[in-house]
A and B are shown apart, each in its own frame.
Chain A
Amino acid sequence: DAKTTQPNSMESNEEEPVHLPCNHSTISGTDYIHWYRQLPSQGPEYVIHGLTSNVNNRMASLAIAEDRKSSTLILHRATLRDAAVYYCILRSSPTDYGGATNKLIFGTGTLLAVQP
């Protein structure tokens, strides 16, 4: 599985934008970039995913570099509830796993602290 590299921790102020980086220099052409986050004592929560183009949803935006070797999760206005561990994960082509599963391999993620 291709690996991702994220900073261990980041800090942000409330109501300011946050840019969470992720490097994935060994990404293959069929790997999707997924982001999940985990609030304290809870299971992970899906945030966003993309393949080549930038993506936006109600939670965040995902900016993907042209060479796809890095990506950035953007929280437009951080709130205290956004304090969590953010995981950047590459999902390999489903054909690698028999064509039927979207197995995810989690790394250690980035711990985001939001200051009031």
Chain B
Amino acid sequence: SQTIHQWPATLVQPVGSPLSLECTVEGTSNPNLYWYRQAAGRGLQLLFYSVGIGQISSEVPQNLSASRPQDRQFILSSKKLLLSDSGFYLCAWSPSILAGGDEQYFGPGTRLTVT
């Protein structure tokens, strides 16, 4: 069966510090991968998605970047965190449409607080 891992679970970082959040998927190959952010009391905002290694699409301009160095690894980064980067970060995967995929499966999330 497929599983999705995210770490760390919680993180407290000062303004201006760098960020690296990692997401890995097991039990599938060539998944679509997604990063979402949920600010306190708000809905989910899609940040990035990837349909393959090295292929990243950004949904909104922001202080963050994403990379996919391996098929089942998705990394969210920032060089200098802002207070507005605080939130609940969720990674998700889905089979590609070409593989008949419909559902997205979400990881446990990382709660980031920027102080």
Chain A positions near chain B (C-beta within 8 angstroms): 32, 34, 36, 38, 41-46, 49, 87, 91, 94, 98-109
Chain B positions near chain A (C-beta within 8 angstroms): 32, 34, 36, 42-46, 49, 51, 90, 92, 94, 96-98, 101-109
What residues of B have a CB within 8 angstroms of the CB of A49 in the complex? 102-103
What residues of A have a CB within 8 angstroms of the CB of B108 in the complex? 42-43
Q: How far is the CA of A99 from the CA of B102 in the complex (A)?
A: 13
* Overall SS of chain A's interface: loop
A55 to chain B, nearest CB (A): 12
User: B97 contacts A102, CB within 8 Å?
Assistant: yes
Q: How far is the CA of A46 from the CA of B101 in the complex (A)?
A: 13
User: A42 contacts B97, CB within 8 Å?
Assistant: no
User: A104 contacts B104, CB within 8 Å?
Assistant: yes
Q: Which of A36, A106, A107 has the most CB of B within 10 A?
A: A106
A49 to chain B, nearest CB (A): 6
